Structure 1
């Protein structure tokens, strides 16, 4: 398994780990307002999903401006249950995994036309790493929001992920 694929697998695991923790809590925790980066945990989850979907579209050949336009509505698509988020993330992770398995060279570059930063040659692996990093950042927001709402979060660090994998002997 290559490093970008391993990092994406961590990202998918970490998303499911924090969603599993949220599922253990009262369902109202998704929509409780909090003074943070996002008004609710549901808004944070929708943002992570929308950005993951946008980068998936870019990785599979859609121009970034078009991918961004297609995914902006997902940012404000607030689901009413953790199960809906679990399903969305599970489905998208399956798409990413299939795409990753089909890539012979993740160091190949594409011309990325980022409406916020300009045009840049970017490797596919850099995009995967960015999606993972973005998710990590916002899962941190979700952990903080959970604490502000009086609930413990759950560890979802990369180093913990290492121990979730079967040992290679």
Structure 2
């Protein structure tokens, strides 16, 4: 699957789930429950910061700094994702097939060194966000709120309409 489809899915699923969270009582975004993070807002803070750090790694920065984004409201979180994703997509559009196969070195937050093809790194951050979107759905279920379908197949169906 080419990067464009994967990235369109990533953007769609991020915004669709945030729209669903935003349609609930505002307190749900910061309500605490048992999961990897204390709340939906903390989960999205993590996803956003990790999207940023992978983006910087994909540009060739070996040890990018960790950035915290303002996720005090769902609206601000959506805007931060949109802004970052526009910047990322503009960069990705400049890459050739050879660029996607280029091996880049990076150091993770634990200090471990890696050398991977840009394409593998891209897939890693898409997969990472999918994992955490599943956790957001778990939060919603703990709050007796139904989730919303965000699997790729739903994106594909909606995109064809």
**Deviation sequence 1:112-135 (CA, Å, 0-9, x none):** 333537333211111110010000
Distance 2:75 2:30 in 1: 14
Match of 2:158 in 1: 164
In structure 2, do the counterparts of structure 1 residues 60 and 99 end up closer, same or farther at CA, with 3 Å as the change threshold? Answer: same
Name whichever of 42-51 and 29-38 sits farther off: 29-38
Match of 1:118 in 2: 112
Could you list the runs of 5+ residues in structure 2 that have no partner in the other structure? none
- Do structure 1's residue 108 and structure 2's residue 107 form an aligned pair? no
Match of 2:4 in 1: 5
Match of 1:85 in 2: 77
Match of 2:56 in 1: 57
Q: TM-score of the superposition, structure 1-length normalised?
A: 0.87
Distance 2:137 2:117 in 1: 31
CA RMSD of aligned residues (A): 1.7
Offset, 1:153: 1.0
Distance 1:14 1:82 in 2: 15
Which of 116, 122, 128 is the aligned partner of 1:128?
122
Is 2:70–2:76's contact at 8 Å kept on the other side of the alignment? no
Is 1:8–1:128's contact at 8 Å kept on the other side of the alignment? no
Offset, 1:79: 2.3
State how many pairs are aligned: 159
In structure 2, do the counterparts of structure 1 residues 159 and 28 end up closer, same or farther at CA, with 3 Å as the change threshold? Answer: same
- Larger relative contact order (CA 8 Å, sep ≥ 6): 1
Name whichever of 157-166 and 98-107 sits farther off: 157-166
